[in-house]
Amino acid sequence: MEISNSIKKDVFSGLENHIQRSKNGKIKTKISGGAQYAVNITIFILLILTIYGFYTFDYKNLIFADASLKLLDNLKTVFLHPKPTHFTLVEGVYQVIITLGLAFLTTLIGAAIALITGLFAAKNLSNVHISNSIKAFVAFIRAVPTVLWVLIFAVAAGLGSVAAVIGLSLHSVAYLTKVYSESYEDVDSGVIEALKASGANWWQIVFQAVLPSTFTSLLAWTFMRFEINFTNAVAMGAAAGAGGIGFDLFMAGSFYYYLPSVGVIAYLILAFALLLEVFSTRMKNKYLA
């Protein structure tokens, strides 16, 4: 009994050294250390740079109040008075479907390749050196924005849908390899060890344990990438001339500068994005049930 009391006293004395109580009885905790100091310094530097940036911008005699009113007026025109001019509504829907097809194709290519590369990138299924090499390579690919990859491949293939497909597919492979490998690594190690003990080979472990237990996770990540690719495909239509609704958006906003057409395109993109979200949610609920 005396030993337990002495242990309690040591515990409470240790806690009192790290916890301070205010006058009104509330407990105050204090986070200290080099990491917190570095975070505070970084936030302070970013704040100073932000203020300096706004102060040194070349506003070209722009009056902030007038610009804000003009922005609100443009947004009102875009979202409250949408009207197509250089295309019909049916043509707009067709262009969105083309963009959707580009997103689907690049996601399909990326998922098919990443399904295999993710297995070799998972530490519980592959050699440590092979896993680290693949993860380092895909991390480099992910570090470069998708639009830059598209422009790099455009040097060889020319601006258009070919460069867009290659660039989007490459970035999809890198993204899905990372998330697929992490899903594979979450598989219960006991199941894998039991299969190895029973004499199962590597492919049997993959098809009988890894893929069935990670199917819902892989499906969710694939739909997430599909939505990202749809957004990127819109941007590639404008930046790389890949066609689709992105090119029409570029023409309406930059060439014709007709804001009501921009509003129609924005609503079409939003509608299809919502449909994708509803479809992906139903698919995930179906396989999770």
For residue 250, give both structure tokens. Answer: 């570029």
Entry pTM: 0.75
Determine the pLDDT at residue 7. Answer: 45
Domains and CATH numbers, the chain: 89-288 (1.10.3720.10)
Contacts of 288 by beta carbon, 8 Å cutoff, 6+ apart: 216
Residues 146, 136: contact at Cβ < 8 Å? no
pLDDT in tens, the chain (289 residues): 444 555 445 544 544 544 444 444 555 555 556 778 888 899 999 999 999 888 887 777 777 788 888 889 988 888 888 888 777 888 888 989 999 999 999 999 999 999 999 999 999 888 899 999 999 999 999 999 888 888 888 887 777 788 889 999 999 999 999 999 999 999 888 888 888 888 888 898 889 889 988 988 898 899 999 999 998 988 888 777 777 888 888 888 877 788 888 889 999 999 988 988 888 888 777 766 5
3-state secondary structure at position 28: strand
State how far the Cα of 171 lies from the Cα of 161, in Å rounded to an integer. Answer: 15
- Beta-sheet pairing, 20-21 with 27-28: antiparallel
Give how far the C-alpha of residue 78 lies from the chain's centroid of Cα atoms, to the nearest Å.
27
